[in-house]
Amino acid sequence: MNKKHYDLPKYQKIRSFLLEQLSIGKFEKGNKFYSEMKIAEMLKVSHLTARKALSGLEEEGYLAREAGAGTFVIRIPEKPCRPRIVETCNIGVLSGEAAIESTAVGKVLSGIHKAASDRGYMIYLAHKAVDTMLKAQVEGIIAFGIFSNKDIEKLKESGIPTVMMGAYEGKGVNFLMADYFSTGYNVAQYFTELNHENITLVGSSADSYVIHKALLKGIHKAFDDSGKNIKKINAFPREKDFSSLDKLLSSAQRPTALLLLDWDSVMPVFQLLNKKGLKIPEDISVMAYGDTALSMNTVPNLTAVRVFSEEGGKMAVELLCDVIKNPNLEPRGILRKTKIIEKDSCKIKSNKE
């Protein structure tokens, strides 16, 4: 049994252990279950404690007692089940690829910590160590960053309630991610209001396909709704030498606005624009995806899209608590709205440009 439940009534500990036995395949539907006497002998508890634990599972619809015949299994938990004790809960926070390098991680962790502390929960941290986390006896996991499909399957098969923070829609998991379509729409609307008609997206991440697709869909929708004659929308992955962007900036179709999708692109793009003699925002407007402290350290300060913050961490804890309390519900997701934080790197494009 889970040693962390020492402060709970003994019958609840026994009930949790018995439920776990049902979930791991030790019994099948219709099988005869442990008797009250067997439980008392096996777990060294009183008959009264064993009876209360069995009654709890009977009331929940897992067992049925037949007079003179014994107790039988009538329902198996749909997923592997660990004890779901919300009163004393340990949450695992698992960071994946690229998470540690992200400057937004501190804010997310702060939000998770505050929300967990408010509920009296403890937090167990691990970086990329999925197998270690699964052995840590946690009641739930919040995972953020980039994880392989293999790791996602491990988390799903464990039966531990898990919330993934990031682009995990369609993976069969509970997820919290930015509303990329809405973000693309708002970015395009912002640029069109500044009279920009030639926009380029630059940069990438490990899950960039999902992000690019949704962002571009939102951008095109906003441009269609604007009724304006949009000349060009380009999207380039982050290259070591930014050669594609270099060529575009020297062409007749030079973009008037850039959206940088990762912060590793910011300094190289700034250097490239400087080499081309292009000033921000006088000659070209620039926006970054992800509002971090770095946006205040550039010259000019970068207008940026705020994605996850402390509030995102709090929302992840709230969703996880709901999943822990209702483990048999279908996986669901929450799309978090983003916000454009206006600073100094974008301006109205004059019609003469």
The residue ranges of every structural domain in the chain are: 3-73, 90-177+310-336, 180-307
Average pLDDT of the chain is 83
Sign of CA dihedral 8, 14, 20, 22: negative
Domain 180-307, CATH homologous superfamily name and number: Response regulator (3.40.50.2300)
Do 90-177+310-336 and 180-307 agree at the fold level?
Answer: yes
Confidence class for position 85, pLDDT limits 50, 70, 90: very low
Least confident of 73-82, 262-271, 295-304: 73-82
Q: Which of 167, 183, 172, 158 is nearest to 98 (CA)?
A: 167
| pLDDT over 80 at 39, yes or no | yes
Global confidence as pTM: 0.68
Model pLDDT, residue 33: 93
Model pLDDT, residue 98: 60
Q: In this predicted model, which residue has the larger pLDDT, 203 or 105? A: 203
Q: How many residues does the chain have?
A: 353
Model pLDDT, residue 195: 92
Find how far residue 77's CA is from the centre of its chain. 26
| pLDDT over 60 at 143, yes or no | yes
Indicate the angle between helix axes 36-43 and 47-59, nearest 10 degrees: 120
DSSP 131-172: HHHHTS--SEEEEESB--HHHHHHHHHH---EEEESS-TTSS
Max mean pLDDT among 9-23, 39-53, 64-78, 147-161 falls in 147-161
| pLDDT over 80 at 11, yes or no | no
**Inter-residue contact 294 to 266 (CB < 8 Å):** yes
Model pLDDT, residue 83: 46
| pLDDT over 90 at 171, yes or no | no
Model pLDDT, residue 236: 76
**Inter-residue contact 238 to 264 (CB < 8 Å):** yes
Structure letter (DSSP) for residue 278: P
Confidence class for position 53, pLDDT limits 50, 70, 90: confident
Model pLDDT, residue 242: 87
Backbone angles phi, psi at 99, to 5 degrees: -70, -45
Model pLDDT, residue 58: 87
How does pLDDT run across 282-335, given as a tens digit for each residue?
Answer: 999 999 988 766 656 678 999 999 886 788 899 999 999 988 888 778 899 999
Confidence class for position 352, pLDDT limits 50, 70, 90: low
The partner residues of 279 in beta bridges, in order of sequence, read: none
Residue 345's contacts (CB-CB under 8 Å, 6 or more residues apart) are: 280, 281, 285, 286, 287, 298, 300, 301, 302, 303
Angle, CA 78 vertex, CA 31 and CA 161 arms, to 5°: 135
Least confident of 26-30, 46-50, 84-88: 84-88
Which CATH fold topology does 90-177+310-336 show?
Answer: Rossmann fold (3.40.50)
Helix or strand holding residue 303 (H, E)? strand 303-306
* 44-49, Cβ contacts within 8 angstroms, sequence gap of 24 or more: 45/10, 45/14, 49/10, 49/11, 49/14
The partner residues of 144 in beta bridges, in order of sequence, read: 95, 165
Least confident of 46-50, 70-74, 157-161, 294-298: 294-298
Which CATH fold topology does 3-73 show?
Answer: Arc Repressor Mutant, subunit A (1.10.10)
Model pLDDT, residue 138: 86
Task: Give dist(CA 237, CA 169) in Å, integer.
Answer: 22
